[in-house]
Chain A
Amino acid sequence: MEIQTQQVDAIEVVTVQGDIDSKTAPAFQEALLPFYASNDDLVLNMSQVTFMSSAGLRVLLSVYRQASQASTRLVLVGLSEELQDTMSATGFLEHFETYTTLDEGIAAIKQKA
């Protein structure tokens, strides 16, 4: 798993590549920690995630909760059909704000900013 961070139009974007499983989930969470503290809205680009285990789902839940507590927005983009199925099966896909493309995600944050 690799994680890249960048700013697009002053919006933080985190792009994840590879598998998020029980081995990589702690690093995934670690990489997202700075964004909780900074109170910045965040786009999480999942378009290059090839597999996400339950451990990854738990990280997403944790991130989502932190974002809610900080009153910041967390937007997921690029969820594959398989990822959507995984999240849907556990019953929390509908509670995330999701968009198909990175541009749509950024636009959504800018629009409501």
Chain B
Amino acid sequence: MQPLRFSFSDLIAGYVTYFDRAKACFGLQTSHGHDYDVYLTNNTYGQIVRNLGWPWHTANLGEMLSSGQYLYVYGIYYPQGDDYRFEAKSFVFPGTTPDTYNHEEPDWWINQIQAIADHYMHWQFDYPNQPIDYANYRTILHLAGGKKGDFLQETDTISRLVYGLSSAYLLTGKDYFLDAAEKGTEYLRRHMRFYDADEDLIYWYHGIQVMGKREQKLLTSEFGDDHDSIPAYEQIYALAGPIQTFRATGDPRILHDAEKTIELFDKFYIDREQGGYFSHLDPITLDPRADSLGNNRARKNWNSVGDHAPAYLINLWLATGEQKYADFLEYTFDTIVRHFPDYENSPFVQERFYEDWSHDTTWGWQQNRAVVGHNLKIAWNLMRMHSLKPKEDYVALARKIAELMPSVGSDQQRGGWYDVVERLLDEGEEIHRFVWHDRKAWWQQEQAILAYLILHGVLKDGSYQKHAREAASFYNAFQLDHDDGGVYFNVLANGLPYLMGNERLKGSHSMSGYHSMELCYLAAVYTNLLITKQPMDLHFRPRPDANRVLRVQPDILPPGSVRLESVTIDGQAYQNFDAEGLSVTLPESDTPLRVKVRLVPMPVMG
């Protein structure tokens, strides 16, 4: 093939190696070690990364191009001789010096969650102009938050928004976030919950179709992947928001709903002979092996086996400390460790299985393809579990994923993480093929950030710190929508927002404020308490009927890594707490209590 002889624009992410002022040129080395000479022009400009709601902050290029500085430069390649000359047009700097990353500031993620949550409150409920009313909730939101006129309210997207709003409350203590989360939880209970009196368990409708004051309940999924079935995925995510709310309020009705939904998993989804959980049930017989399920008959997948943990189960354990939930978690992760690795064939885990755990490489869109973020999600959650029940297998698999993924799942030229790729290379191929595109979805970035943050936070490995910084820098540089609020669904490989079709939306079946706010909550926890060692405040509002032992552990962290330093209740200092056990013994009260706790990292890990 002849060399390309045309100009084109692109992004480079890398570390400054030299700066020659006289030539207006500097060296840039990418994450995977490729060197570039980058030329400045009279019109080159730069900014320092800014959080949502922050003003533009111009970068002083002359001062900031110091050796070791990480940056993004967007520019144009011009053919010149036998090579190309890259001329810079614009920069984004993640911090003002090589050692500072703005997203590691103690309140960065807290400010971000407040901004995102405020936007969703405005978009969905016109808050504070109108009272919070979930009858007005709509799944589809335009780029700028406007409603599109759809009338479907999906259970799991409402639950996901509730999760985000509860998380926003835990970090900020703003009552209106928790008010909205509690109303959303109540709405789910009243409209989306099916109590099966015969089996004494609960399952959740797919959603409701709202038609004026009438509503049509939809028991089975409306989506092509899961049509006419009850997918485990939807039942799992129905619990996400309520359980995060339960952490803050201790509402015993939520616990009851969760217990009865878990009984559904343990009675109908579980495979007691060969292990794991089936992915779909027939809606009439609740049989995972019903012929009516078609290509979902007797199948297991990442969602049905693994998504329990991040969606609700870890949070349920954090809130209750119940051994049975720790056991469920252990079962989940042991199942993943046993069945998902497939490293003799692919650097990616296997995600879909038949009943006997043989590999299903024919299912729907997935075929023999990998979701990069699912690999990272496994690594992240294995590291959480390792702090609850340490196992070498957990750490080994997390490390394996962390070491393999950058070269096969990330863009080491421009930064950021890809979406869905082929698990196998064909003959002559050097890069795993992108199934649909080389765009970068917000939630995949989240998985990378959290995986490498917790890996570094627990294992103190500089390479994990590098990947965490690079992933978080990309997300904050390109995924935030400074014009309309919230985050972009997808950006192009070069970081520019992709605003077509569903990927233009701020609310959809895929996006409702969950991943963006989950990221803020946990990135704040891991960064402050495990990495930069900063104190952190969390907020709770236990109800009068809540258990009087309030557990305030922010996430599953290494034992002894965090201590509860102080507590206030309704603004007054309060002493009845267990500093090492991370719990507060609450006084009896006829009204909800506002509990603020200060957590401090311990200098030496236990």
Proximity bits, B166-204, A CB within 8 Å = 1, else 0 = 000000000000000000000000110111111100000
Q: Are B284 and A89 in contact, with the CB atoms below 8 A?
A: no
* Residue B217 is within 8 A (CB to CB) of chain A in the complex: yes
Q: Decide: B217 and A58 in contact? CB cutoff 8 A.
A: no
0/1 string, A85-97, CB within 8 A of B gives 1: 0100111100100
B216 and A29 within 8 A (CB): no
B217 touches A95 (CB 8 A): yes
**Which of A54, A57, A64 gathers the greatest number of chain B CB atoms within 10 Å?**
A54
Contacts of A3 in B (CB 8 A): none
Query: In the complex, A59→B286 CA distance in Å?
Result: 12
Is B285 positioned at the interface, with any CB of A under 8 Å from its CB?
Answer: yes
Within the complex, the shortest CB–CB distance from B234 to chain A, in Å, comes to 15
Q: Is B216 in contact with A95, judged by CB distance below 8 angstroms?
A: yes
A22 interface neighbour in B195, B217, B218, B285, Cβ under 8 Å: B285
Within 47-99 of A, Cβ neighbours of B (below 8 Å) are at 53-55, 57-59, 61-62, 64-65, 68, 86, 89-92, 95
Q: Contact check: which of A29, A53, A59 meets B198 at CB < 8 Å?
A: A53
Q: Nearest Cβ in chain A — how far from B195, in angstroms?
A: 6
Q: Which of B325-353 contact A (CB under 8 A)?
A: none
What sequence of 0s and 1s flags, for each residue 257-287 of chain B, a beta carbon within 8 Å of any chain A beta carbon?
A: 0000000000000000000000000011110
Q: Is there an interface contact between B217 and A92, defined as CB atoms closer than 8 Å?
A: yes
Q: Is the interface of A mostly helix, strand, loop or mixed?
A: helix
**Most chain B Cβ neighbours within 10 Å, of A25, A68, A95:** A95
Cβ–Cβ contact A86 & B219, under 8 A:
no
User: Which residues on A sit within 8 Å (CB–CB) of B219?
Assistant: 58, 61-62, 65
Task: Tell me how far the C-beta of B225 lies from the nearest C-beta in chain A, rounded to whole angstroms.
Answer: 18
Q: How many interface residues does B have (CB within 8 Å)? A: 21
User: Chain B residues near A21 (CB, 8 Å)?
Assistant: 198
Q: Which residues of B contact A68 (CB under 8 A)?
A: 209, 216
Interface string of A3-36 (1 = CB under 8 A from B): 0000000000000000001100110010000000
B19 to chain A, nearest CB (A): 65
Q: Interface digits, B209-253 against A, CB 8 Å rule (1 contact, 0 not)?
A: 100001111111000000000000000000000000000000000
Complex: how many Å from CA A95 to CA B212? Answer: 12
With a 10 A CB-CB cut-off, give which of A25, A64, A65 has the most chain B CB atoms: A65
Chain A contact residues, CB within 8 Å of chain B: 21-22, 25-26, 29, 53-55, 57-59, 61-62, 64-65, 68, 86, 89-92, 95
- Please, could you name 19 A-B residue pairs with CB atoms under 8 Å apart, sorted by A? A22-B198, A25-B284, A25-B285, A29-B284, A53-B198, A54-B194, A55-B284, A57-B194, A58-B284, A62-B284, A65-B216, A65-B219, A65-B220, A68-B216, A91-B190, A91-B217, A92-B217, A95-B215, A95-B217
B interface residues (Cβ-Cβ under 8 A, vs A) = 190-191, 193-199, 209, 214-220, 283-286
Known contacts A68-B209, A68-B216; can you find 5 more A-B pairs with CB under 8 A? A26-B285, A65-B218, A65-B219, A90-B195, A91-B217
